[in-house]
A and B are shown apart, each in its own frame.
Chain A
């Protein structure tokens, strides 16, 4: 890891001409990532693991090389603990369908009520299907969990336990005290699942330190391409996952009598994967790691503070949370204005934000009825962007109030 000049980071992107505050949805790719994707498709596009020609060998080498990059990023033990998926949603569904399909009415799945649909619906689905107990844990105003309720629920769970939580919440941006929460779950021998979709580009994720049994994230929220992501799993848990998809590359031998599945990680990667996407994700990780994560955290804190100050300055803004640190996003409403109107008028001023229920409808609708406006930043957002957002919000209020 080397320290680089953060203020020059924009030069590494060909950013579109828009003030972009929708980075929690997806981040732009630096040129080096785009180039690596193009390089694969132009210069060595071949299928992996099969051909014995030069292109296939190069593609396989590049693709498999990304496992070590992800392993190092997460401080995992083995390359075989890294499964390439299409993204966070795929990763979480893989655990739910591959692991919990053998569970039943003695077992329990626990999630906070504030989760993104990607970390909610896969669990509700298997809980209903296999009659697994499903518990949702209340969140309090600042986004933190009701710990007393969590302990109570854990106390009452008779059989196996799985606890899944987003590291950084996608609606209010608070960072959950994962280490502490997982330690508690481990006292009950529960399986711990970390949805790192929002945190992968903002926080240090060390699976050993956090005691995470599974971690899911998407490349496109880490300056990589869409359609590719990761499921990390501790070997002993990954081995319990039954393949959900069957087909090429996930088998070691097939006869009419017997199908022998391949070893990890390939047994969970049926079919031709997103080869170019995985390779570009590798470039995104290299690029990301060329910055010191501590510098990135300092930049986040700075944008967070400037954003909060800007919103505090505007008396027509309703900010929903106290001044705690928000990792990359802040949600608010403009008094008396519908969030969708605000987003639409900001769009008319070339400013991109997100509005609505933010893929967390149950909790957002319960607390805010019409939804919220979310501004989310990345490493390339600066003070000028915040100033533009401020002017944009003033114009919205003048028109809509």
Chain B
């Protein structure tokens, strides 16, 4: 199980490397957005808001033994990027998440696709995921 976060990252990394053209990568990212578990509108409140994104993004963690994250953003590229990142962390335990060095996500190579504003947003999203995992004491 310990390698599963790395396995998920590797799979996405291999997929993204298939595209030479940035615009094609975006097709992949946008389509990935369809997999996002959508956070219900009742949770789209300041408490669950990720700061630093140009488009509003909310995220909430559910579950006890393993975590499931739901998120919502109106921007399709953000939705796709969030879906990719949550795909990596969904179904993992608190320990598995916290043991993962967030730098490993850099190997996805999506930073180059991100403008700085959004890069901050994704950085803040990852911090939020760790924060949610860290607060989970009931497993």
Once the chains bind, are B27 and A344 in contact (CB under 8 Å)? no
Residues of B within 8 A of A399 (CB): 23, 26-27, 30
**Distance, CA A326 to CA B3, complexed state (A):** 56
Once the chains bind, are A371 and B54 in contact (CB under 8 Å)? yes
Once the chains bind, are B26 and A345 in contact (CB under 8 Å)? yes
Once the chains bind, are B23 and A344 in contact (CB under 8 Å)? no
**Interface-located stretch among B38-46, B62-70, B74-82, B97-105:** B74-82
**Given A338-B55, A343-B115, does the pair A348, B23 have CB atoms closer than 8 Å?**
yes
Q: Digitize B47-76: 1 where CB-to-A-CB distance is under 8 Å, 0 elsewhere.
A: 000000111100000000000000000111
Q: Does A349 contact B (CB under 8 A)?
A: yes
Q: Does A395 contact B (CB under 8 A)?
A: yes
Once the chains bind, are A338 and B76 in contact (CB under 8 Å)? yes
In chain A, positions 289-344 with a C-beta closer than 8 Å to chain B are 337-341, 343-344
**Given A341-B75, A370-B74, A400-B76, does the pair A356, B27 have CB atoms closer than 8 Å?**
no
Once the chains bind, are B77 and A395 in contact (CB under 8 Å)? no
Residue of B nearest to A344 (CB): B77
Q: Does A347 contact B (CB under 8 A)?
A: yes
Chain B interface residue bracket vs A: 20 to 34
**Given A356-B54, A400-B30, does the pair A344, B115 have CB atoms closer than 8 Å?**
yes
Q: Digitize B1-43: 1 where CB-to-A-CB distance is under 8 Å, 0 elsewhere.
A: 0000000000000000000001101110010000000000000
Q: Does A355 contact B (CB under 8 A)?
A: yes
Q: Does B118 contact A (CB under 8 A)?
A: yes
Distance (Å) between the CB of B22 and the closest chain A CB? 4
**Distance, CA A356 to CA B118, complexed state (A):** 11
**Distance, CA A370 to CA B76, complexed state (A):** 13
Residues of B within 8 A of A344 (CB): 26, 77, 114-115, 118
Once the chains bind, are A395 and B23 in contact (CB under 8 Å)? yes
Once the chains bind, are B55 and A345 in contact (CB under 8 Å)? no
Once the chains bind, are B54 and A355 in contact (CB under 8 Å)? yes
**Given A347-B115, A399-B30, A400-B76, does the pair A340, B55 have CB atoms closer than 8 Å?**
yes
Main secondary structure on A side of the interface with B: helix
Residues of B within 8 A of A355 (CB): 54
Residue of A340, A349, A356, A371 near B77 (CB, 8 A) is A340
Once the chains bind, are A370 and B22 in contact (CB under 8 Å)? no
**Distance, CA A340 to CA B78, complexed state (A):** 9
Residues of B within 8 A of A343 (CB): 54, 115
Residues of A within 8 A of B53 (CB): 340
Distance (Å) between the CB of A344 and the closest chain B CB? 5
Once the chains bind, are A345 and B54 in contact (CB under 8 Å)? no
Distance (Å) between the CB of B138 and the closest chain A CB? 36
User: Looking at B23, B25, B30, B77, which has the most chain A CB atoms within 10 Å of its CB?
Assistant: B77
Residues of B within 8 A of A345 (CB): 23, 26, 77
Distance (Å) between the CB of A167 and the closest chain B CB? 27
**Distance, CA A60 to CA B120, complexed state (A):** 42
Once the chains bind, are A340 and B26 in contact (CB under 8 Å)? no
Residue of A nearest to B30 (CB): A399
Residue of B27, B30, B55 near A370 (CB, 8 A) is B55
Residues of B within 8 A of A340 (CB): 53-55, 75, 77-78, 117-118
Once the chains bind, are B22 and A348 in contact (CB under 8 Å)? yes
Residues of A within 8 A of B22 (CB): 348
In chain A, positions 246-289 with a C-beta closer than 8 Å to chain B are none
In chain A, positions 334-368 with a C-beta closer than 8 Å to chain B are 337-341, 343-345, 347-349, 355-356
Residue of B nearest to A357 (CB): B54
Q: Digitize B105-137: 1 where CB-to-A-CB distance is under 8 Å, 0 elsewhere.
A: 000000001110110000000000000000000
Once the chains bind, are B76 and A348 in contact (CB under 8 Å)? no
Distance (Å) between the CB of A347 and the closest chain B CB? 6
**Distance, CA A19 to CA B55, complexed state (A):** 24
Distance (Å) between the CB of B73 and the closest chain A CB? 8
User: Looking at A338, A356, A370, A400, which has the most chain B CB atoms within 10 Å of its CB?
Assistant: A338
Residues of B within 8 A of A371 (CB): 54
**Distance, CA A395 to CA B24, complexed state (A):** 11
**Distance, CA A344 to CA B115, complexed state (A):** 7
Residues of A within 8 A of B113 (CB): 348
Residues of A within 8 A of B56 (CB): 370
User: Looking at A337, A340, A371, A395, which has the most chain B CB atoms within 10 Å of its CB?
Assistant: A340
Q: Provide 6 A-B residue pairs closer than 8 Å at the C-beta atoms, listed in order of the A residue.
A: A337-B76, A341-B75, A341-B78, A344-B118, A345-B26, A348-B113
Extra inter-chain contacts (19) besides given A395-B23, A400-B30, CB under 8 Å: A338-B55, A338-B76, A338-B78, A339-B54, A340-B75, A340-B77, A340-B117, A341-B75, A341-B76, A341-B77, A344-B26, A344-B77, A348-B23, A348-B113, A356-B54, A356-B117, A370-B55, A370-B56, A399-B30
A-side residues, CB < 8 A to B, are: 337-341, 343-345, 347-349, 355-356, 370-371, 395, 399-400
B-side residues, CB < 8 A to A, are: 22-23, 25-27, 30, 53-56, 74-78, 113-115, 117-118
4 smallest beta-carbon distances between A and B, as pairs: A338-B75, A340-B54, A348-B22, A340-B55
